[in-house]
Amino acid sequence: MERNITLIALFAALIAALGLIPKLTLAFGVPITAQSMGIMLCGTVLGARRGALAVLLLLALVALGLPLLAGGRGGLGVFAGPTVGFLIGWPVAAFVTGFIVERWRTGPLALVASVASVIGGIGAMYLFGVVGMAILLDKTLIEALMLVTIFLPGDVIKAVLAGMITAALARSRPSSVLSRS
């Protein structure tokens, strides 16, 4: 019980800390932050339920007014902005990612976690994000999808990295990778 809570809280804190890592810029000028990789890691390491709870906890603190999102953003304003769909998709993304890692137990963890991160951290997250943008910017779903495609290559890289990081953590802290224990 205590361990579940501290792992959930510390992973929420980890997502916040990852937002502070200076962002990399891809060759074609699209900035990527490590924060959405934190969402994927919550799922791949903590599993579906605990991963989603860690993300929800972070979002609750953001709503309370703490600047925990990448670039020091936070407060109620982020839930009124055009990217709110992605924030709503975050806990779902962590849940789906964790669910896949928990169920798919054959195969190397790095591969499983990467594929799970693509399905959950990209598929599920973009589903919510694109619908949100379509509503708030008054665009069709196809138009909204076109607007976010430039971020796809960066997110695929992050999903692969999340898989490798999960495998490395499973080697160094085997008992703490709850999605596989």
Partner 1 sequence: MISLTSPVEIWSHRLPAGLKLAALSLATLLLFSTDNPVLLGGAVVAVAGLYGTGGAVFFRQGLRNLRVLWPFLLLIALWHGATGQMAAGLVVALRLLGALALANFVTMTTRLSDMVDVLTVLLTPFRRLGLSTRALELSIALVIRFAPTIADKGKLLSLSWRARSPRRPGWRIVVPMAALAIDDAEHVAEALRARGGLEQPRRP
Residues that bind partner 1 (CB under 8 A): 1-3, 5-14, 16-18, 20-21, 24, 34, 37, 41, 45, 57-58, 60-61, 64-68, 71, 73-82, 136-139, 147, 161, 165, 168-169, 172-173, 176
User: DSSP letter at 25?
Assistant: E
Burial (CB count <10 Å: 0-12, 13-18, 19+), residue 138:
exposed
Closest to partner 1 by CB, 65 vs 108, is 65
CB of 123 to partner 1, least distance (A): 21
| Contacting residues for 154 by C-beta, under 8 A, at least 6 apart | 26, 30, 32
Closest to partner 1 by CB, 49 vs 139, is 139
CB atoms within 10 A of CB 116: 28
Closest to partner 1 by CB, 67 vs 106, is 67
Closest to partner 1 by CB, 66 vs 119, is 66
CB of 18 to partner 1, least distance (A): 7
CB of 50 to partner 1, least distance (A): 11
Q: Give the residue among 83, 6, 82 at the shortest CA–CA distance from 50.
A: 6
CB atoms within 10 A of CB 39: 31
